[in-house]
Amino acid sequence: MSATALDTRAKLPVGSWKVDPTHSTASFAVKHMVVATFRGSFEKIDATLSVGEDGAGQLVGVVDAGSIAVKDENLQAHLGSPDFFDTERYPELRFASTAIRRDGEQLAIDGELTIKDHTNPVQARGTITDPHETLGGAVKIGVTLETVIDRTQFGLEWNAPLPKGGFALANDVKLTVELELAQDSE
């Protein structure tokens, strides 16, 4: 493999890449009742990766907090209440990258995540694909990212002690986004 090829694989694809919300997901996983992993997701997400000719890029994302989806409607409503995301007061979760590094398919992103007006730095790791022409000539890339946050640093402090010790919810929450991004021709 030539040095030139290696260099290309370290660069982000130039252009503006808009999320295809139907084929993208933002989800979370948290240890529940000490023993198991509980997962949920957000139905409405928006994200754009903007990469200049110099290769510098920024990823910004917005999640509609009220679009949280779990398997029980009462739990869903509780997660939207002031006990958790307080969606009436804080309708969005936001992310903005401050640095993006690519090494082949590997992606490392530093950024700031805002939940309930609490903004904290996060580091996410994941993958990125090269652009690929798909149906109708649409050029797309795929980005996956994963990070673990301490939810209590973002104002998500609800918990309940268990009778034999431990708590209903862990503080560490794994966040995962899987994005299908289309080249914005405008």
CB nearer other proteins, residue 168 or residue 182: 168
Euclidean distance between CA atoms 134 and 176, whole angstroms: 24
The CB-of-160 to other proteins minimum distance in angstroms stands at 9
The CB-of-172 to other proteins minimum distance in angstroms stands at 23
CB nearer other proteins, residue 53 or residue 73: 73
**Count of residues that interact with other proteins, criterion CB under 8 A:** 10
Burial class (CB in 10 A: 0-12, 13-18, 19+), 7: exposed
The CB-of-87 to other proteins minimum distance in angstroms stands at 9
- Per-residue contact track with other proteins, 75 to 104, x per CB under 8 A? -xxx--xxx----xx---------------
Q: Do 156 and 116 contact (CB within 8 A), yes or no?
A: yes
Please state, as a whole number, how many other Cβ atoms lie within 10 Å of the Cβ of residue 45.
19
The CB-of-72 to other proteins minimum distance in angstroms stands at 10
- Per-residue contact track with other proteins, 45 to 74, x per CB under 8 A? ----------------------------xx
Q: Do 60 and 46 contact (CB within 8 A), yes or no?
A: no
Q: Scanning residues 119 to 148, which ones bind other proteins (CB under 8 A)? A: none
The CB-of-183 to other proteins minimum distance in angstroms stands at 36
Q: Does 117 bind other proteins (CB under 8 A)?
A: no
Q: Which chain residues interact with other proteins by CB under 8 A? A: 73-74, 76-78, 81-83, 88-89
